[in-house]
Structure 1
């Protein structure tokens, strides 16, 4: 399906040289409303060109161009007539391949660095003569290749940016994709719009039209099933497939009793009303609680929840297949909410064979005989939300914070019981309500509330001594969940959350704040 999208939107290929920012470059290109894909530097040039790229960006990387075994690129790429931009290591690879000089200056540059623009050219047009940019390099370009104009310099990089407008080759030593580069997005857009001549037409509406056509071509008249978790990804994937094939789709929601307050009802009421989807809800709360009884080890809890989910989903599948069989319709397809970062991280985006078959539905068995429908596999999370809004998925679902598959089961430190789930649901609902009321939903990635069920502390409530549970607030900010920092919430909001929880949830007498970044900590406690 990714290939069908690429045929209509010629991709900007981001060639990954092992940079921590390759996905971020692709995101920034998408933010400019231009379609992009990440490919490994090891991909042969003829395969890159076979994708009919509209432009190519060479990423940064940790190596030195002079090190043994350093990744390189076939110089023939620069003669193919495709607009190319090099960033950091990619800038140096381009310079070296075309006859420029790259050397160690003895003055490395890391972090914020002043840049002096000596000629704006195409790439730096509209940016200041002096600007701050984010650097991370030891080698520097000393001499630009023949035919290139030097655009900028820094103390440690005699050639910090260059371009050859005739051949549409451009490069910068800094990282325009990171927010610390003050005019980074403008530089990328100058390359995309002016250097490569691309139009900003990668929009939610276009994505929907293309994916609906692709889904119809793939599915035909067959029946489709989807595990609807209540999260953003599965909801938007289901809405896309529903728009494409209507009542050929049946969604299954497994109510394992580990959801947040009101979420099951919201799926049954709001999502169905907005999309008209056929929904089957399986009430399996007792089954999951029985399976989790007496279990405190987090990994064991995860495995139990995954195992029971598979079994319930298989039961639902058999029922759907039996019903469909009576009408002579074959159930051939399974919808998954796979996102583009999953594709990249599981094999560089080089085809569906690299996608983990169990992604997004709790660990589907290898022997399930379904073809996957993955309408979101070209999209980042923010794009998924935009598509969901365009499709009319309720805002309460579209803007929902990421929520782990095992649900509240891994936000209770200790055994999972009905009483403890009820306590945590109440505290979590208060935290989410106050964050929304304060207008902070857009500033945080998510705010898990963790119940330390096996811990009790002394407190005073109503002039009496209490021995209650503490809960932990874990507000974090992130773009992709690979790294995260704790969110500095206003004290008055934290105070309100704490006061309400300790007043309204009698079993809790202490609220604490987790101020650890990732790494070293993870976002979830279990």
Structure 2
């Protein structure tokens, strides 16, 4: 059985980052709400308590039940987790004038303490707390201090219980990964055997056990998640998997043909469905973004359902759900109020009366790529930028027409191929072009023009939750702008979007 670390979440913005860092150590871990975690069986090797936006002094502060954890399993409290244990077991936590936000340095380290093995005195850590532990319970011992905060780290005597007031998971804590390794590997004794190869082997076996000889249908998008999910299922059940790739008329230029071709080379059983006219017909005259999404979602379900019914004996619908989606649905603050209306397969299981199989539901995005690489999936697919489910419909601001789609496909193609040819594509997390609902005056030759404006967008990110605009070279932007205006009839002005997320979003609609 797969050994694991449990991370109890108190709502910190950094909780997913703790999980990513632990997994970088080839140790499997799961995030659960502090008030709803699974039974502690022999596979649980240790527990980490996350930070929180709450203060332990708040009346409604999160209070976990640690009765079956503390003193029985290795336990590490991070920030709020450390403060909670200090206060709950007899210490004192107060708002203090010695608050620390941002960088600090460890002035004192107990070098004999296993949590701080190989950590250097003066090592930089990242603080983010308004409260400070003023007094520790009697059996708690200080093992690290900064210049301003005496209790930067502690250990409970005769227990494998630790607390640190800084965040080891963030980049700014320079030896944070070593601290997590000391806890997970040395204190908890984890084997570090959770690798892409082991994941593929275990998942394929689990899929074979779960699915048997049943037939499975999967909606392909050409993106990373659905492609990796398809290959895992293909390894497990071979010809019993049928993939459906729907052309909604809002894909990138040549994408339908290119994606179908790439899947054929992977040996997948793929059915291509040309539904361009149906989607564009239903979108005719619609300008409101949410309405566009709902129409595209509804028509996709209708098309996919009709196609799937042509396959006899289908019992399962495969989805490329990944771990952040799972975490969001059981978050500390309760399930998300609404499922994103542009989620391609939202509503399909209910309509089709199929059981759902989700082979990637334990993985983060970067892990999906590593698993895909392990299965020798083409770097072109694995490195592909994310593309919105509603496609170009939410990059055409206002009403959608076939002419606008064709124009934006041409603009987008020039931009994306330009990024590739100038070796900039892999430096960008997501890029695309927006067709704005404005026209501007221009001059071409001796003639005055009044034509469309397009905005180019390129962002850097790790998961899409936050994103910064990419500083593309001016020379490149100038060349792409000239090429778009010269080659795409109907465009006479190109602008570059330099907004970050937040406050802006990546897409414009």
Contact 1:271 1:394 (8 Å CA) reproduced: no
Q: Separation in 2 of the partners of 1:252 and 1:497?
A: 35
Structure 1 counterpart of 2:431: 447
Q: Separation in 1 of the partners of 2:158 and 2:184?
A: 15
Q: Separation in 1 of the partners of 2:305 and 2:340?
A: 15
Among 300, 323, 326, the alignment partner of 1:343 is 326
Among 448, 454, 468, the alignment partner of 1:485 is 468
Structure 1 counterpart of 2:80: 89
Among 474, 477, 481, the alignment partner of 2:457 is 474
Rate the CA distance shift 1:310–1:497 in 2: closer, same or farther, 3 A. Answer: same
Q: Aligned-pair distance for 1:146? A: 4.2
Is 1:271 the counterpart of 2:254? The answer is no
Rate the CA distance shift 1:498–1:188 in 2: closer, same or farther, 3 A. Answer: farther
Unaligned runs of at least 5 residues, structure 1: 1-7, 325-329
Q: Separation in 1 of the partners of 2:488 and 2:417?
A: 15
Structure 1 counterpart of 2:351: 367
In the TM superposition, what whole-angstrom CA distance separates every residue of 1:235-284 from its partner, at most 9, and x where no partner exists? 1111111110000010111111111122212221112212x111111111
Structure 2 counterpart of 1:421: 405
Structure 1 counterpart of 2:167: 175
Q: Separation in 2 of the partners of 1:29 and 1:499?
A: 47
Rate the CA distance shift 1:315–1:61 in 2: closer, same or farther, 3 A. Answer: same
Structure 2 counterpart of 1:139: 131
Rate the CA distance shift 1:490–1:248 in 2: closer, same or farther, 3 A. Answer: same
Q: Aligned-pair distance for 1:145? A: 4.0
Q: Separation in 2 of the partners of 1:490 and 1:12?
A: 44
Contact 2:47 2:75 (8 Å CA) reproduced: yes
Q: Aligned-pair distance for 1:79? A: 3.9
Is 1:229 the counterpart of 2:221? The answer is yes
Q: Aligned-pair distance for 1:161? A: 1.2
Q: Separation in 2 of the partners of 1:144 and 1:77?
A: 22
Unaligned runs of at least 5 residues, structure 2: none
In the TM superposition, what whole-angstrom CA distance separates every residue of 1:107-130 from its partner, at most 9, and x where no partner exists? 222222333233233223333311
Among 334, 359, 384, the alignment partner of 2:317 is 334
- SS across alignment from 2:352: coil
- Residues 292-307 of structure 1 mapped to structure 2, 5 A cutoff: 292-307=283-298
Contact 1:271 1:393 (8 Å CA) reproduced: no
Is 1:35 the counterpart of 2:28? The answer is yes
Among 299, 314, 338, the alignment partner of 2:305 is 314
Q: Aligned-pair distance for 1:512? A: 1.1
Q: Separation in 1 of the partners of 2:29 and 2:163?
A: 18
> Could you tell which deviates more after superposition, 479-488 or 211-220?
479-488
Structure 2 counterpart of 1:58: 49
Q: Aligned-pair distance for 1:315? A: 0.9
Rate the CA distance shift 1:449–1:443 in 2: closer, same or farther, 3 A. Answer: same
Structure 1 counterpart of 2:439: 456
Q: Separation in 1 of the partners of 2:479 and 2:189?
A: 52
Structure 2 counterpart of 1:110: 101
Q: Separation in 2 of the partners of 1:311 and 1:217?
A: 31
Q: Separation in 1 of the partners of 2:44 and 2:369?
A: 26
Q: Separation in 1 of the partners of 2:340 and 2:100?
A: 43
> Could you tell which deviates more after superposition, 222-231 or 436-445?
436-445
Structure 1 counterpart of 2:361: 377
Q: Aligned-pair distance for 1:200? A: 2.3
Q: Aligned-pair distance for 1:438? A: 3.7
Q: Separation in 1 of the partners of 2:441 and 2:42?
A: 64
Is 1:516 the counterpart of 2:509? The answer is no
Q: Separation in 2 of the partners of 1:78 and 1:160?
A: 22
Rate the CA distance shift 1:393–1:362 in 2: closer, same or farther, 3 A. Answer: farther
Corresponding residue pairs, total: 505
Contact 2:461 2:468 (8 Å CA) reproduced: yes
Alignment root-mean-square deviation, CA = 2.4
Q: Separation in 1 of the partners of 2:452 and 2:157?
A: 65
Q: Aligned-pair distance for 1:164? A: 4.6
> Could you tell which deviates more after superposition, 380-389 or 472-481?
472-481
- SS across alignment from 2:216: strand
- SS across alignment from 1:281: strand
Q: Separation in 1 of the partners of 2:148 and 2:54?
A: 18
Q: Separation in 2 of the partners of 1:214 and 1:378?
A: 13
Structure 2 counterpart of 1:241: 233
In the TM superposition, what whole-angstrom CA distance separates every residue of 1:185-213 from its partner, at most 9, and x where no partner exists? 22222222222222322211111111111
Structure 2 counterpart of 1:4: none
TM-score, normalised with respect to structure 2: 0.93
Q: Separation in 1 of the partners of 2:401 and 2:84?
A: 58
- SS across alignment from 1:489: coil
Q: Aligned-pair distance for 1:155? A: 4.1
